Amino acid sequence: MKRLTKKRTQAVLMDSVIAGLVSYGVEQIVRKKVKSEFVHTVITPMLVAYALEACQMRRGGQTLGYKLMGLELTNDDGTPVTAEQAFKRALHRDTRSIVAYVKDRAHFEAEAGAVLPHDAAFHMHVIEKN
């Protein structure tokens, strides 16, 4: 596994833990109003994770995990990442990205971890910030 890919994996794991903790807090508040376990098990964690990622990415292209690992998400043309782009990228990552990676693994491995299918779909790449 390439160095950048390892850093990205560590950053995503950190972000997942943070999203899980925030989701737990939100669930405690929402639980009083919504009785459906499906909402608490599936909908709340997913929405919290996507919302956190979108909000953080639009403020400098970094989530807390990316910041701690020294990574930044940027558009290929140098413009800042918008919340809408980050949300769509996260949704793509969790659905279609896996199939795209399996179909063209050699291409994405040649990018040394800077571009994965969900990045390529939205013309983005990850760089190491010094």
Burial class (CB in 10 A: 0-12, 13-18, 19+), 110: exposed
Report the mean per-residue pLDDT for the chain: 90
- What's the pLDDT score for residue 98? 86
Residue 14: the pLDDT is 96
pLDDT digits (tens, 9 = 90+) for 16-53: 999 999 999 999 998 889 889 998 899 999 999 999 99
83 and 57 Cβ atoms separated by less than 8 Å: yes
Rounded to 5°, angle at Cα 27 from 21 and 29: 115
DSSP for residue 82? P
- AA letter at 47: L
pTM value?
0.84
CA dihedral over 48, 54, 56, 59, signed as positive or negative: negative
Q: How far apart are CA 94 and CA 91, in angstroms?
A: 5
- Residues 6 or more apart from 104 whose CB is under 8 A from it? 117
Task: State the Cα–Cα distance between residues 23 and 122, nearest whole angstrom.
Answer: 27
Identify the pLDDT of residue 130.
Answer: 66
Domain extents for the chain? 3-128
